[in-house]
Amino acid sequence: MTVVNTFAHIADVHLGENHNPAIKKLEIETFSKTLDICIERKVDFILICGDLFHVPIPDLEVVKEAVTKMRKVKELGIPIYAIYGSHDYTPTGTSIIDLIESSGVLVKIARGKVDDDKLKLDFVQDEKTRAKLVGINARKMGLESKYYEILDRESLEQEEGFKVFAFHSGLDEFKPHHLRLMETIAISLFPKDFDYYAGGHIHKRSENSLPGYEKVVFPGALTGYGRDLEDTSKGEKRGFYIVNFTDKLENVEFVENKPVESIYYEYDPTGKSSVQVQTELKENLAQLDVAGKIIVLKVSGELSGGKISDIGFPSLVEELRQRGAIDIHLNKHGLKSKEYTAIATAGEESTAIESRIFKENIGEVKVSVEALQNESGLRISNELLEILRVGKQENETKESYERRLREHALEVLGAKKVIDG
């Protein structure tokens, strides 16, 4: 009788992303519930494909809770394997993932060295199932592409057995439209004919296939943040995959793990004044049952009169919070005002327009650093815009351009002196 083995494929947990205590608790509870499902389903091992935490050195309380749960899983005989995600990576190579591995709770599977200008990776074999795991760690801004360019694919392809390739990168061939400007890599840089390609980094779930790469899976973000919350509130499912295999892939199953109820509310203010919008939004939001839910409020359109700052979004958000909403995600990127459009046609210099807009809206921005407030904040904002106006120079590499922007920005913010000592 053929034994069917199973493993769980998880990615983009982003523990500690949100500073809201209720959401921080929700993130760890969702992760904990995911591991409980893995135990119930009797998986043989768990594979985490990057971004277990949102930052390389996260809040220690979050780390403690996550490690406590993972240790219980390991004590039940279920090993946990992992690779770095872009949020786990640090240039120094010191990440909480390394510390957790040193405690014996998980095993990193991105192993190898560069020899004769070729990156030679070593497989990690799961003791129980004999599955062979290998992967490449992510870096910031897609810089892991350099690893793929020098990867010794041939030796990986020649290895026999059930093979899993773990990665944390976007792929040219399977890039979601809203991420079309993201740095991605070509799947042709992957070794061919692995049984399963376990992805991370893309927060939208997908199962993909191409000749030579028959099963390429992104489980999506486990909880998500930012745009993810909007997608979730519109019905996108969150969860992870359970993979069944023998000496070959048998099937994959998406397991939904709904983190919390959410409400998506979209409002179009076109043709209305800021005063009308303030009144209508207040009345409409009052009709929603928001207690214990995440609220995604999207306001997109053009005001007929008044300034955007007149709407008083902070007070609307606070009212929702007072009524029991556990978090409010406000998206007003598509909100415009005819008053600003009129300014642009009045012959005023663009820099003056920018200064006026900054001055009128800087009060909406909550900052704790005194230097970024009021007139000082206005000056810094304008100086940062001037830096961004200087485009990439001819023959200047992307890395050099970004380094130059970063250094100039640090000078404006007064941070370079601190860093340089």
So what's the pLDDT on residue 41? 97
So what's the pLDDT on residue 421? 41
Going by pLDDT thresholds of 50, 70 and 90, the confidence category of residue 323 is very high
Instruction: Give yes or no for residue 314 having a pLDDT over 90.
Output: yes
So what's the pLDDT on residue 416? 45
Instruction: Give yes or no for residue 221 having a pLDDT over 90.
Output: yes
Instruction: Give yes or no for residue 359 having a pLDDT over 60.
Output: no
Going by pLDDT thresholds of 50, 70 and 90, the confidence category of residue 308 is very high
So what's the pLDDT on residue 181? 76
So what's the pLDDT on residue 372? 52
So what's the pLDDT on residue 403? 64
Going by pLDDT thresholds of 50, 70 and 90, the confidence category of residue 410 is low
So what's the pLDDT on residue 418? 39
So what's the pLDDT on residue 5? 98
So what's the pLDDT on residue 20? 85
> Catalytic annotation on 87?
yes
Q: What is the spatial order of strands in the sheet that 213-218 belongs to?
A: 124-125, 132-135, 163-166, 196-198, 213-218, 206-210
Q: What is the pLDDT of residues 119-170, one digit of tens each?
A: 999 999 999 999 999 999 988 655 678 889 999 999 999 999 999 999 999 9
Range 338-353 burial, b when 16+ CB lie within 10 A, else e:
ebbeeeeeeeeeeeee
Instruction: Give yes or no for residue 406 having a pLDDT over 70.
Output: no
Going by pLDDT thresholds of 50, 70 and 90, the confidence category of residue 417 is very low
- The active-site residue out of 14, 54, 87, 168 is 87
Q: pLDDT exceeding 70 applies to what percent of the chain? A: 79
Instruction: Give yes or no for residue 216 having a pLDDT over 80.
Output: yes
CATH 1.10.220.110 is held by the domain 5-256: no
**Higher per-residue pLDDT: 340 or 235:** 235
Q: What is the pLDDT of residues 269-279, one digit of tens each?
A: 999 999 999 99
Instruction: Give yes or no for residue 313 having a pLDDT over 60.
Output: yes
Going by pLDDT thresholds of 50, 70 and 90, the confidence category of residue 182 is confident
Nearest to 162 by CA among 207, 124, 119, 121: 124
Going by pLDDT thresholds of 50, 70 and 90, the confidence category of residue 420 is very low
So what's the pLDDT on residue 212? 96
Q: What is the pLDDT of residues 246-274, one digit of tens each?
A: 999 999 999 999 888 999 999 999 999 99
Domain layout of the chain by residue ranges: 5-256, 261-347, 349-421
Longest Cα separation, the chain: 81
So what's the pLDDT on residue 55? 87
Mean pLDDT over the full length of the chain: 85
Going by pLDDT thresholds of 50, 70 and 90, the confidence category of residue 419 is very low
Please compute the mean of the pLDDT values over residues 288-299 and round it to a whole number. Answer: 94
Does the predicted TM-score (pTM) go above 0.85? no
- Which of the following CATH numbers is that of domain 261-347: 3.40.250, 3.10.620, 1.10.3470, 1.10.150? 3.40.250
Q: Any idea which residue has 């663009």 for tokens?
A: 350
Beta-carbon contacts of residue 268 (< 8 Å; ≥ 6 apart): 299, 300, 301
Q: What is the pLDDT of residues 70-115, one digit of tens each?
A: 999 999 999 999 999 988 877 766 788 998 999 999 999 999 998 8
